Amino acid sequence: MTDFLDIDKTDPKDLRKIIDSAHSMKKARTGQLRGTLDADQPLANHMVALIFEKPSTRTRVSFDVGVRQMGGQTLVLSGADMQLGHGETIADTARVLSRYVDLIMIRTFEEQTLLDMAEYATVPVINGLTNASHPCQIMADIMTFEEHAGPIKGRKVVWSGDGNNVFTSFAHAAKQFEFDLTFTGPPPLDPHPSLHAGITIERDPAKAVQGADLVVTDTWVSMHDPQSARERRHNQLRGYQVNEALMAKAKPDALFMHCLPAHREDEATSAVMDGPNSVIFDEAENRLHAQKAVMRWCLGV
């Protein structure tokens, strides 16, 4: 039994196996209809619980479709269905669920909820997102970069914006996959101090993106942020918008990524998002393939 909780908690050799497996599974589906089942059906007779305390589009659909393509079945549960931590303890919930299902994916708020689920479950647990990290997204991003530009080892990745949970997983990946990571953003939105030793911080976005192989950003505001916080973040981050002028300072073939959903003309312009360097929709698709590879790795199938 193997959990997938964070990129920095997973051996680099296993991370590479997951990425290579994702590439192979995607290639095997080339030319097939979207609803076609995978030939080997590795999750046949497996039940997977998908728990969403936080709402989702890409995570929900990609995990659900991925399980079904591999021959398994899903049980989708919302926070209201589960009432995690509001009555029955997370530990007891994990013990009970483990009697019913073969694998648990949880998308939640507090990292401790994920850790408690993993500690007490007797089946593998996958981190679908917490306020602290988003490892499945970054596995899809690594896969996408390598599809378009070859091995990511030794390349320069620049993150422009908020040092949030997605950036944290990028920082974990930089160490495990051995690429250079630069953060450019305002000091109040710096990534966690524990990450600073492994990254470069450059306040001037124009300088930051020089020589970049990949430029990445994310939404400036969360759906849960109050209006006052939204206005403050817009003021803080306005100078870090990824637009055509900024991309022109990176390498000519530099890729652009955004994990979506996006607020167009805020963190990135439509000209960049729909431009020739953008791979955002390949990135979204690859959530499906990368997560299928993660599930197979967790279950050893």
Would you say 72 and 47 are in contact if contact means Cβ atoms under 8 Å apart?
A: yes
Q: Distance (Å, rounded) from C-alpha 130 to C-alpha 114?
A: 8
- SS3 assignment, position 42: coil
The single residue of 60, 107, 172, 233 carrying the catalytic annotation is: 107
Look up 134 and say whether it is catalytic: yes
The single residue of 58, 60, 172, 287 carrying the catalytic annotation is: 287
Would you say 41 and 151 are in contact if contact means Cβ atoms under 8 Å apart?
A: no
Nearest alpha carbon to residue 9 among 91, 92, 102, 130: 130
Look up 287 and say whether it is catalytic: yes
Neighbours of 247 (CB within 10 A): 23
Look up 29 and say whether it is catalytic: no
Look up 218 and say whether it is catalytic: yes
Look up 230 and say whether it is catalytic: no
**What is the 3-state secondary structure of 85-148?**
CCCCCHHHHHHHHHCCCCEEEEECCCHHHHHHHHHHCCCCEEEEECCCCCHHHHHHHHHHHHHH
Look up 107 and say whether it is catalytic: yes
The single residue of 218, 233, 241, 298 carrying the catalytic annotation is: 218
DSSP bridge pairs for 242: 268
The single residue of 134, 172, 233, 289 carrying the catalytic annotation is: 134
Helix axis angle for 165-177 and 135-149, nearest 10°, is: 50
- SS3 assignment, position 256: strand
Q: How many helices (H) and strands (E) does the chain have?
A: 12, 9
Q: Distance (Å, rounded) from C-alpha 90 to C-alpha 121?
A: 10
What residues are annotated to the active site? Answer: 107, 134, 137, 218, 259, 287
